Structure 1
Amino acid sequence: MYSEGGGKGIKARWRERHREGSGYISLRPVQSSMDNKFPSLSTVLFGSSSSVQFGHENLLLGEKQTHVENTEVSRIEPLQKKISERHISVFNMIDLHEAELYLDCVDHHIGQLVNGNEIHVFIFVVRLGQLTNDDKMSLEWLQRVFGAKVLQFVMILFTYETEEECNTIKDDLKRNPDLKQLLEKCGGRYLTCNKMMNNQSEMRDLMKKIEHLFNENQQQCYTGEMPNTASIRKKKLESSEHQCGKNSVFFSDYFSLSISNVVTCFLHITDFYRVVFQVTHQKWNQMHT
């Protein structure tokens, strides 16, 4: 169903570059092809960690990082792999959708990731037969951060532990409307793979499907504008505070002006009645003298 494509590879680049004060990080259009001699791919893996098993045998992700400090940030740096004679830069963004507490930091480094690299595919890892709300949140997070255009570069990788599980994929799609809807959002693109990701044959199939997707997208990598969620939220807050400040000043000036007018009017009325009283008093005295 998926044919192997040719073309030119892109070397992954990690650039410490981020546009301060901007709600969007602009990405120039990228068009490339894969070189048959030195094929190279840049891939992003996202989803839930319960869908994968880390270890030295894992051909895509390797060992799980054990250090805690800045884990969400440092693990975004690409892992350099070689699978089926192809050089691959793998960006591990698994569980990153749960890092809402670190939005400023995470979005900043995601901006560097996308602005400095040409992404061929976003691989959405999902545990076969165990679709969760967390999985749905993963895809929503990806769209929120990278924009709706990212869906045309997404492929679902269903992981399993036993061969019996692997054989249930078609039945699962029939029985689970949520799973079917999720697959439709990703253009119906999927592949099955064991949870350890150590099967060479499955990895070769994955490479072929990535190449097919690359050709489907007219040999273009992910391009577009990436909304910086934290920056946009901050700007909206500042704008709201500024508007509230303007409203406060307006109402303050308005009420100050209103009070001033009332006082002035009161003084004028007082003066008027004082004059009337004086004139009336003088006439009364004249009449009685």
Structure 2
Amino acid sequence: MSHGPEPTLSGLVLLLLGEKQSGKSSAGNAILSRRAFHQKTSRSCRESSSVFGLQVTVVDTPGWSSPSTTPRKVSREICRSLTLCHQGPHAILLVLPACSSFRPEELGAMEAQIRQLETSIWQQAIVLFTHGDQLGGLSIQEHIRQQGGSLQWLLERCGNRYQVMSSHSAQSQAQVMELFQKIQRMVEVPKHPRGVGYRPQILLNQHVSIRQEIHVEMDRSPEYRQQITSTDPPIIRGFVSARAGWNPSLSLILLGRRKSGKSSAGNMILNREQFQTGIKTTSCSAGRAEISGRSVTVVDTPGWSLFGLANAEQVRMGILHSPSLCPAGSRRTFLLVIPVDSFKEKDRKAIETNVAVLGDEVWRSTVVLFTYGDELKGSTVEKYIEKKGKPLLWVLERCGSRYHVCDTKTNNEAQVNQLLELVERL
């Protein structure tokens, strides 16, 4: 299935999570007003459509079963779904069929999968009740009351946000409109520079987009753009950047084998000793700095090993977790760190295996970062690439021939700025 166009910052990114046969895919189809997803989802996938004048991206995921019987590949795909939300999801829709009971067993299975995401989701979570038409004459409030403590606990964690969707297409459009309005109310909005709380509205019934609302406000107040920071919601920052050419913050995720110079490269970029060097990196960590007017976050990840010296499962789960450490709305790029030394077919295979957990689309936002550039000893990196032949050329072709060379032994601001300029051109 095609993943569709890249999600834009001028719309909504929604992530669907839920158990098997909960109606996730059908809900995604209703939101996008087309048959974008098929039943029996086995891999996380992304589709987009224009809905009510907004560009809406929905990421569907495989459904889980009980914790003891959910295959590990399903859990991996659920973790990978975060990498498909390139600007970070504006809302995470926890899908529950309204016609089924929600007992402690179902809550436990949900919690088990959410824990593996290793990031807090509750401020962005909305419970989406599917098959609402099967409630009969029962109101959703009465259904919630009858279900008891497990469902009420879940709703409290989600700030009592929920939406009902039925299986009838005649009702679904109005229900999707209600869902979008609830998402917009959930999104935090920055304060207007004049001191008045400014909340652009999604006037769906009049087909007026948020972008138009913000453009009007920016025309009135040119200094408004200066008030937007990396902590503001991506749905706001995206509209401002589209209007004024303002650059969003950058997130750089370091990938590579052990002793490739990942941590040293991260320290070089941030211009401080953020990451420990000389020891094995076993978990993800992040650091942030202002670099030449840019807000830059660097995420270090566990390195894989060609000789079995690293826990392969720990490495891959770390790679899957890494995007969740990036600020929502930042422009995310993967830096594939390759030291200037030997590079053979086994190196290529290790890269292919470990990067594959992020999905094929990751290559479109990946740059090769050659470390230990001093080892070139006056030669050019192009000659090094030619000498290493097909294995290295395969990697570079997957990355669109994007690469940069750095010398981590020298604190050269120019080489960092050149790298960031390359990232910004992606």
Shorter-normalised TM range: 0.5 to 0.7
TM-score, scaled to structure 2 = 0.38
CA–CA separation in structure 2 for the residues paired with 1:130 and 1:117: 37
CA deviation vs aligned residue, 1:161-184 (integer Å, no higher than 9, x gap): 527536331212223222222211
Deviation at 1:82, TM superposition (A): 2.4
Q: Which protein is richer in helix relative to its size?
A: 1
1:102–1:127 Cα change, 3 Å = closer
Amino acid at match of 2:424: E
**Alignment gaps of 5+ in structure 2:** 1-8, 10-16, 19-60, 65-73, 88-233
CA–CA separation in structure 2 for the residues paired with 1:106 and 1:94: 6
More displaced 10-residue stretch of structure 1: 199-208 or 81-90: 81-90
More displaced 10-residue stretch of structure 1: 170-179 or 143-152: 170-179
Contact 1:51 1:125 in 2 (8 A): yes
Q: Does 1:198 align with 2:407?
A: no
1:117–1:199 Cα change, 3 Å = same
Amino acid at match of 2:252: T
Q: Does 1:186 align with 2:399?
A: yes
Amino acid at match of 2:314: Y
Amino acid at match of 1:88: V
1:78 to 256, 279, 286: 286
Contact 2:253 2:322 in 1 (8 A): no
**Alignment gaps of 5+ in structure 1:** 1-8, 10-16, 214-289
Deviation at 1:101, TM superposition (A): 4.4
CA–CA separation in structure 1 for the residues paired with 2:265 and 2:422: 24
Aligned to 2:269: 59
Question: Equivalent pairs: percent with the same residue?
Answer: 24
Contact 2:340 2:376 in 1 (8 A): no
Contact 1:44 1:92 in 2 (8 A): yes
Amino acid at match of 1:126: I
Aligned to 2:348: 136
Q: Does 1:41 align with 2:250?
A: yes
1:47–1:107 Cα change, 3 Å = closer
Deviation at 1:51, TM superposition (A): 2.8
CA deviation vs aligned residue, 1:47-69 (integer Å, no higher than 9, x gap): 13433273996334735437989
Amino acid at match of 1:47: G
1:104–1:94 Cα change, 3 Å = closer
CA–CA separation in structure 2 for the residues paired with 1:173 and 1:193: 15
Contact 2:255 2:300 in 1 (8 A): yes
More displaced 10-residue stretch of structure 1: 97-106 or 29-38: 29-38
CA deviation vs aligned residue, 1:60-110 (integer Å, no higher than 9, x gap): 4735437989x623xx23211222221111110151574314368647744
SS at match of 1:187: coil
Aligned to 1:168: 380
Aligned to 2:423: 210
CA–CA separation in structure 1 for the residues paired with 2:316 and 2:333: 25
Count, aligned residues: 196
Deviation at 1:29, TM superposition (A): 5.7
Amino acid at match of 1:42: S
Aligned to 1:50: 259
Deviation at 1:200, TM superposition (A): 0.3
Larger radius of gyration: 1
1:87 to 284, 295, 304: 295
Aligned to 1:158: 370
